[in-house]
Copies of this chain bind each other. A is one copy, B any other.
Amino acid sequence: MDAEESRSAIAYRQIAGYIDNVADGARLPPEADFAEMFGLSRASIREALARLRAEGIVRSRKGSGTFAMRSGAPEMVRLSAISSVRELAQWHEVRLALESEVAALAADRRTDEDLARLEAAQEALLASLLTGRGEREDVAFHAALAVCAHNPKLSDALGRLTSHIFSWGNLSAQRSVLTMAERRELIALEHGAIVAAVAARDGDRARAEMRRHLLAGRTRVLSDLQM
């Protein structure tokens, strides 16, 4: 089910959960206690705390202790590093939410020029899949769709999120269970359905097709990871 989560990731999750049930500014248990609590070494605890420190969730003072900083109210949503399959799945759900809305808005608001650019992006993607993995062209397709939605905030957030998720996949082993031909056919089909819905200005259908596309992609990725 869950591909082995690293020990420091376990520590991170546990400590984050601990902080959720604690007052703002409260002092956390010593690292040694956390280590004993979770059955991990102090090194793993420190690894997790280093991440929490970097995220502003926690603050450590030498000789004094580590303190929860829940009111660290950053004015932005941070894309913290993805360190487990679980986190990848969570970000993927955020992407699904944004991208399906983008598809619907794109169908409602697209101009004819928008549609032309979208179709061009789709053709470029299919062409590049004959020779390479077409990863960049896939991103370009989704970017072209985002433009159609005419909502800069939404497309900006989605763009950063997508590249964040892709950067994880870049460094992980790219061993797909699909052949290039199968992959190309699937993308042609799924993207094609989205383009058709956008062309028909059918927002609900565009949303549904995008959901199908992303959910299918998630299934493919997860089955790859379980090989």
Contact = CB atoms under 8 A, between A and B. Distances in A.
A104 to B, nearest CB: 9
Interface residues of A, number: 48
A90 interface: yes
Given A97-B100, A100-B97, A157 B67 contact: no
B91 A101 contact: no
Identify whether the interface residues of A are mostly helix, strand, loop, or mixed: helix
A90 B164 contact: no
Interface stretch (A32-40, A147-155, A190-198, A219-227): A147-155
Interface of A: 16, 46-47, 50-51, 53-56, 59, 61, 67, 69, 71-81, 87, 90-91, 93-94, 96-98, 100-102, 105, 151-154, 156-157, 160-161, 163-164, 167, 171
